[in-house]
Amino acid sequence: MFEEYTFENILQEMIDETDPSFDVSEISPLYASYAKSAAQVAKLYRFLDRVLELSFASTSEGEYLEKRTSEMGVYYKDAVAAIRRGEFNIPVPIGSRFFVEDVYFVVIENENGIQLQCETEGTIGNKFPVGTELMPSETINGLETALLGEIIIPGREKEDEESLFVRYQDKVAEPATSGNIGHYKEWVREFEGVGAVKVFPNWDGPDTVKVVIVNSEFMPASEELVQSIQVALDPVPGQGEGLAPIGSFVTVESAKPVFINVVATIEINSSTTIEVVKEQFQQALADHLKSIAFKEETEPIVRQRVIGSLFLIIPGVIDYSTLLINGQATNIILRESEVPVVGQVTLNV
């Protein structure tokens, strides 16, 4: 908005408004005084322009973005520690600590299945595959098997600016009121571990509502997370004992996984190996699937040309051919309640 107020323009304006009888050449004291003043005024305009940017959500950042989004009750979400199932040959006491690669987990539930919470907040607790062996921090008599199980609540880093702004836009675009779709979304998004939600009104007749969720990793949600939301929304169908209005019959489900199996022939140079390429491709594929999973503004299509392009960004890959996705040389179209998940990747050279 203040682009024209540059040092050069301000200085020239001061010179132009000076009485011609005064010396304003570059070696004059008056010019030196003008130059110093113009520099300070130009800096002030830059600051003023930045203040203006920070006052609008679309151009703001950091704490100032939250100041704006807080007007709609939207705040940064703190980091969350992962909660996972545990597989043990004996019951283990609550508070028992186990570790893998210097990452510690503590038992927080041992009645309805053993649950462990990572002691470190963030996504680090998600990274270990199911079946990873855990080591106890102290001797537990009779313990022979200690394995890390499935993720119940994914760990999450502190929310970034992009995610906060998207939630703010959703709140503005879909104001929550009287049990409308926006209201259901707002209720469900408050649960730790929810990454996205879709609401289907009248899905099984009048007054029926289906709520479908994915976890914060944009993967199918755990049974525990689904059940906790079901109880919160509609514990006794239609009776209004939860958040849902009286007369609403709410069904909460996890999105159904669709495994994306990829077979391709690739051409590589001597700087890499097929094992390295496969590992990097699987990560790139997972990132891409997450970017299109359960996004209402994104077509639920796994496109063959996009999957093929993922090979070409991997160092050492020259080309690819005979690309098949789930045995087909075509795009994979997902249903609204489905989420794509990395399946088996087979690469040939």
Domain ranges of the chain: 7-72, 83-153, 174-254, 258-348
Letter string b/e over residues 264-301, b meaning 16 or more CB atoms within 10 A of that residue's CB: bebebeeeeeeeebbebbbebbbebbbebbbeeeeebe
Residue 254 has pLDDT above 90, yes or no: yes
pLDDT at residue number 26: 85
Give mean pLDDT, residues 47-64: 91
Give mean pLDDT, residues 278-290: 95
Residue 20 has pLDDT above 80, yes or no: yes
Residue 25's pLDDT band (cuts 50, 70, 90): confident
Return contacts of 131-140, CB within 8 angstroms, 24+ apart.
132/100, 133/100, 134/86, 134/98, 134/99, 134/100, 134/105, 135/98, 135/99, 135/100, 136/96, 136/97, 136/98, 137/96, 137/97, 137/98, 137/99, 137/104, 138/96, 138/97, 140/90, 140/92, 140/96
pLDDT at residue number 174: 77
Q: What digits encode the pLDDT tens for the residues 133-184?
A: 999 999 899 999 999 999 999 999 999 999 899 889 888 887 777 789 989 9
pLDDT at residue number 76: 93
> How far apart (Å, rounded) are the C-alpha atoms in residues 141 and 205?
55
Residue 23 has pLDDT above 90, yes or no: no
Q: Residue type for 12, please?
A: Q
Residue 47 has pLDDT above 80, yes or no: yes
- Lowest mean pLDDT, pick from 96-110, 210-224, 285-299: 285-299
pLDDT at residue number 312: 94
Identify whether the C-beta of residue 294 lies closer than 8 Å to the C-beta of residue 198.
Answer: yes
Residue 3 has pLDDT above 90, yes or no: no
Average pLDDT over the chain reads: 92
> How far apart (Å, rounded) are the C-alpha atoms in residues 187 and 183?
6
Identify the burial level of 135 via C-beta atoms within 10 angstroms of its C-beta, where 0-12 means exposed, 13-18 middle and 19 or more buried.
exposed
Residue 289 has pLDDT above 90, yes or no: yes
Residue 349's pLDDT band (cuts 50, 70, 90): confident
Instruction: Name residue, tokens 């600590």.
Output: 97
Identify whether the C-beta of residue 147 lies closer than 8 Å to the C-beta of residue 118.
Answer: no
Q: Which CATH number fits domain 174-254: 3.30.300, 1.20.950, 1.20.58, 2.60.120?
A: 3.30.300
pLDDT at residue number 331: 95
Give mean pLDDT, residues 214-230: 94
Percent of the chain with pLDDT over 90: 77
Residues in the chain: 349
Beta strand pairing call for 103-109 and 97-100 = antiparallel
* pTM, full prediction: 0.77
- Give backbone dihedrals phi and psi of 153, rounded to 5 degrees, phi first: -120, 115
Residue 125's pLDDT band (cuts 50, 70, 90): very high
Instruction: Name residue, tokens 């007054």.
Output: 207
Beta strand pairing call for 249-254 and 208-215 = parallel
pLDDT at residue number 178: 79
> How far apart (Å, rounded) are the C-alpha atoms in residues 307 and 345?
12
Q: What digits encode the pLDDT tens for the residues 295-309?
A: 877 888 999 999 999
pLDDT at residue number 272: 92
Residue 111's pLDDT band (cuts 50, 70, 90): confident
Percent of the chain with pLDDT over 70: 100
Residue 92 has pLDDT above 80, yes or no: yes
Give mean pLDDT, residues 267-288: 94
